[in-house]
Amino acid sequence: MTIDWKHETALRQDDFITDLKDLLAVESVRDDSKATPEAPLGPGPKDALLKMLAIAERDGFTTKNIDNLVGYIEIGPKDADEYVAILSHVDVMPAGEGWETDPFVPVVTDDKIIARGASDDKGPGMAAYYAFKILSDLKVPLKRRVRLIFGTDEENDWTGMTRYFEVEPAPVFGFSPDAEFPIINGEKGNVQVLIKDEATNGGSVKLVAFEAGLRTNMVPGIARATVVTAQAEAMVAAFQDFLAANPQISGSAESDGDDIKFVVNGKQVHGAMPETGENAGTYLANFLQNFDFGGTAKSFLTYLGTPAHQDTIGEKFGVNYTDDVMGPLSMNVGIQKFVAGQEAFINFNFRYPKGITPDEIVAGLATQLNGWDVTPTIGGHAQVPHYVAPTDPIVETLLRVYHDQTGLPAHDQVIGGGTYGRLMARGVAFGALFPDSPDTMHQVNEFALLDDLYRSIAIYAQAIAEITNLD
């Protein structure tokens, strides 16, 4: 049957925007402080999952909710043994500061929709859902079942999708609409490395508190520190000179007697592309390290402010490895925290190619401690590099569909970002950013271009129809 996928998408654009706005309005940030047996990750992720499944049930689809952690929508022949999976997520990153509009009150302009999750990943996920609607409405014949699966913890530990693969059979192949076109058939490994110590002082200047970063996979856009010094006036003046010498950042220093509160504003971006941001925390540490701190405060600030500062490839730690296929390693210093009398904490996030191991990365971080008596350790859920050959039929088919619909060059590529696509042996990421699309994932004022979302619906509908029927 011949289908005009773009025309079918145009018929459903208004409904798509209505449903997307409803989903974006749910503040689906993981909050362990509000976790309950019914909402294991807090109320937001659960509510977003229930909202998505309710939309599908309204439209007559078969759905399943697994422990309020993950759920799916299914189409295709119920007696088919195999199924294809489309993996998305309804959780979002914390909004952060500096938004021009309420991040959970979606704003639709002539060309974009603005809200946290618009591009990562509620917009693309809803685009995949409307592709399902087109296939269902037109009764497109499918050889296999297809599941559109929504996780609730992609931005943290992948709890929901891990649960899914524990209790459900694996798909034969599939894709995640959570990256960019033309396709992502390779993803670097992903590992967190932690440094922890008791937070002590000992010099004439005291570090009371230092904080930067909301998540390990975000470049900190704001850093704050509280310092006590008898030379407050001179320290504030030095900070103004530091800001003038670094116009790529901004900040403030407010003194009250011997107390100074520092703020640095950098540029918050996705942790997979730290080179595009400005890490507010390492800038602040770079300034503070020059003063008479002692104890672990001195080690903490020196480590952040020298080897970890302005190095997004791990060069100063000797781990700046590059693979011919997967490209270079990247390094983000995501969370930085010091509370006097409690804990000093640094969280690194590395995206690494084939050819280097997490143990080698940890060893590299240990080379620059300069007497700081701590041991870097691996934390979180480490992920090994993932790669699907360009000759795999799923890669070839998705690239052909993309080229047929857009007329743009279609080629395979590897990224530092991690998507659910890597959970499948023959899994890839496919859209929804186009090569010329602005990327605002994990940034303030996140948005998605409406035309990009509409184009994605049409591409996904044709792509699902074709890969589901592959031999």
Q: What is the CATH number of the domain that holds 457?
A: 3.40.630.10
Residue that is last in its domain, among 315, 347, 381: 381
Phi, psi of 344 (to 5 degrees): -100, 130
Same domain, 354 and 280: yes
Same domain, 354 and 403: no
* Complete DSSP assignment for 299-312: HHHHHHHTTTTT-S
Question: Given this model, what pLDDT does residue 302 score?
Answer: 98
Residue that is last in its domain, among 381, 401, 430: 381
Query: Rounded to an integer, what distance in angstroms lies between the CA atom of residue 56 and that of residue 464?
Result: 17
pLDDT tens string, the chain, 471 residues long: the values are: 799 999 999 999 999 999 999 999 999 999 999 999 999 999 999 999 999 999 999 999 999 999 999 999 999 999 999 999 999 999 999 998 899 999 999 999 999 999 999 999 999 999 999 999 999 999 999 999 999 999 999 998 899 999 999 999 999 999 999 999 999 999 999 999 999 999 999 999 999 999 999 989 899 999 999 999 999 999 999 999 999 999 999 999 999 999 999 999 999 999 999 999 999 999 999 999 999 999 999 999 999 999 999 999 999 999 999 999 999 999 999 999 999 999 999 999 999 999 999 999 999 999 999 999 999 999 977 889 999 999 999 999 999 999 999 999 999 999 887 899 999 999 999 999 999 999 999 999 999 999 999 999 999 999 999 999 998
Question: Given this model, what pLDDT does residue 261 score?
Answer: 98
Same domain, 342 and 397: no
Q: Is 280 left (phi over 0), alpha (psi -120 to 50) or beta?
A: alpha
Question: Given this model, what pLDDT does residue 263 score?
Answer: 98
Which residues are within 8 A (CB) of 374 and not within 5 positions of it... i.e. 6 or more apart? 195, 196, 197, 299
pTM for the structure as a whole: 0.85
Query: Rounded to an integer, what distance in angstroms lies between the CA atom of residue 440 and that of residue 239?
Result: 30
Question: Given this model, what pLDDT does residue 156 score?
Answer: 87
Same domain, 207 and 351: yes
Q: Across the beta sheet with 427-429, what order do the strands follow?
A: 62-66, 70-75, 145-151, 83-89, 174-176, 427-429
Answer whether 23's CB lies under 8 Å from 113's CB: no
Same domain, 103 and 149: yes
Same domain, 265 and 148: no
Instruction: Please report, for the domain that includes residue 223, its CATH number.
Output: 3.30.70.360
Nearest to 467 by CA among 400, 419, 406: 400
Same domain, 310 and 373: yes
Same domain, 288 and 248: yes
Same domain, 323 and 390: no
Annotated catalytic residues are 91, 154
Question: Given this model, what pLDDT does residue 417 score?
Answer: 77
Question: Given this model, what pLDDT does residue 382 score?
Answer: 82
Same domain, 112 and 162: yes
Same domain, 366 and 263: yes
Domain holding 219, by residue range, is 190-381
Residue that is last in its domain, among 381, 411, 446: 381
Counting the structural domains of the chain, the total is: 2
Same domain, 117 and 157: yes
